[in-house]
């Protein structure tokens, strides 16, 4: 079955589910334009997620995607966490602030959240997607049994095979160019760092499932190139950040138009898992050769958020998290529906 038919959309374009940036308004605008809008609920409680689904449904009757984080739940390690906070102490001191006394798991993994699984079964969104891995097989079977279409990201051929074996409907092939968090299943084993086009070709040649290309794709020409290599659709994230419907703040939008858009890098020092964004002091001052071992994801993220709060209270924006892919300089500012139309025309 073609991906457009599978997902109930007109155009083979998916707006990436960027937690903190994608909003019900953005997802609905994209879906109403005939593509697939997405909301990310990885940082939400089941009640918050249910409210986001309701808000999105108020704005569109079309299918949209709901994304979850399937990382291994964090294990608290007081010693590692204290050492990390001590590493950040001089940075907090610049803003007359103290590091927090402790850091915590600021959101649950879907693997550890049966209430969230039940919420999805109650609400039955058209599409659900997984990042960082896969949930338990019985949850996958239950979601499929409820008529929900399932997507999962893969950064290697091996991960794609696990996705296919689990009975998921389509594979999001996430190349190294992609902004935000790498979807690597087991980051402690390292990252193969495969580019989008090579990954799409590898997976498309060996999988029966439709492949969705993700990473560095910003325009219709990029979508067409990925489809020439075997993808049936493309997922774009950074391209949608400048849309007025996104939750990106003024500084983030300005950064995308600046020289900084030309310099994106991957670091694990912000959240505890590797992620790509526009380089600022979070990259240069946290990820140093003498840095101690990182606490687990997302506990590390709690520390970075506290540092940004301390800096921004003094009018400094150098510790803001601004995820972006390698295609960031190609970002264009326009309403989401207009962007979908432009992408289709360029294809």
195 lies in which domain range? 3-73+108-246+328-346
**What confidence score (pLDDT) does residue 210 get?**
98
CATH number at residue 211: 3.20.20.70
What are 201-259's pLDDT values in tens digits?
999 999 999 999 999 999 999 999 999 999 999 999 999 999 999 999 999 999 999 99
Please indicate, yes or no, if residue 186 is contained in any of the structural domains.
yes
Is 101 inside any structural domain? no
pLDDT above 90 (res 152): yes
Q: How many domains does the chain have?
A: 1
In a domain, 201, yes or no: yes
pLDDT digits (tens, 9 = 90+) for 270-280: 999 999 999 99
Q: What is the pLDDT of residue 291?
A: 96
- Identify the pLDDT of residue 231: 98
Q: Return the pLDDT at 44.
A: 97
> Does residue 46 form part of some domain?
yes
Supply the pTM of this predicted model: 0.98
Q: Is residue 7 exposed (0-12), middle (13-18) or buried (19+ Cβ within 10 Å)? A: buried
Mean pLDDT over residues 10-39, rounded? 98
d(CA 330, CA 97): 38
Task: Give tens-digit pLDDT for 307-327.
Answer: 999 999 999 999 999 999 999
Query: 153 in a domain, yes or no?
Result: yes
What pLDDT is attached to residue 79? 97
Q: What is the mean pLDDT of residues 90-106?
A: 97
Instruction: Sheet containing 170-174: give its strands across.
Output: 13-15, 233-236, 211-214, 170-174, 149-154, 127-131, 64-69, 37-40
pLDDT above 90 (res 1)? no
Question: pLDDT tens digits, residue range 163-197?
Answer: 999 999 999 999 999 999 999 999 999 999 999 99
Residue-level pLDDT at 321: 97
């Amino acid at each position: 079955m073609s991906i457009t038919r599978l997902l109930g959309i007109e155009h083979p374009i998916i707006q990436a589910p960027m937690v903190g940036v994608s909003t019900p308004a953005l997802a609905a605008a994209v879906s109403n334009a005939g593509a697939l809008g997405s909301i990310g609920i990885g940082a939400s409680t089941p009640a918050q997620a249910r409210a986001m689904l309701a808000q999105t449904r108020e704005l569109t009757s079309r299918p949209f995607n709901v994304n979850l984080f399937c990382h291994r739940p964090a294990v608290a390690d007081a010693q590692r966490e204290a050492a990390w906070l001590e590493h950040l102490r001089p940075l907090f001191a610049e803003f007359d602030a103290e590091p927090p006394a402790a850091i915590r798991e600021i959101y649950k993994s879907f693997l550890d959240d049966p209430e969230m699984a039940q919420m999805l079964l109650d609400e039955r969104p058209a599409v659900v997607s997984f990042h960082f891995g896969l949930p338990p097989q019985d949850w996958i079977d239950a979601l499929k049994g409820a008529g929900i279409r399932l997507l999962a990201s893969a950064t290697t051929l091996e991960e794609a095979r696990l996705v296919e074996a689990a009975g998921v409907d389509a594979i999001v092939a996430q190349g190294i160019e992609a902004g935000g968090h790498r979807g690597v299943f087991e980051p402690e084993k390292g990252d193969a760092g495969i580019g989008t086009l090579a990954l799409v070709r590898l997976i498309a040649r060996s999988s029966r499932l439709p492949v969705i290309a993700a990473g560095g794709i910003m325009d219709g020409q990029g979508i067409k190139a990925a489809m020439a290599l075997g993808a049936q659709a493309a997922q774009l994230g950074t391209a949608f950040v400048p849309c007025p419907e996104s939750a990106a703040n003024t500084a983030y939008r300005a950064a995308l138009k600046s020289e900084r858009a030309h310099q994106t890098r991957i670091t694990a020092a912000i959240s505890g898992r590797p992620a790509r964004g526009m380089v600022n002091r979070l990259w240069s001052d946290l990820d140093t050769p003498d840095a101690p071992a990182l606490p687990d994801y997302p506990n590390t993220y709690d520390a970075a958020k506290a540092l940004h709060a301390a800096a921004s209270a003094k009018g400094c924006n150098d510790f803001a998290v601004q995820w972006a892919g390698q295609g960031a300089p190609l970002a264009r500012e326009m309403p989401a529906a207009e962007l979908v139309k432009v992408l289709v025309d360029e294809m």
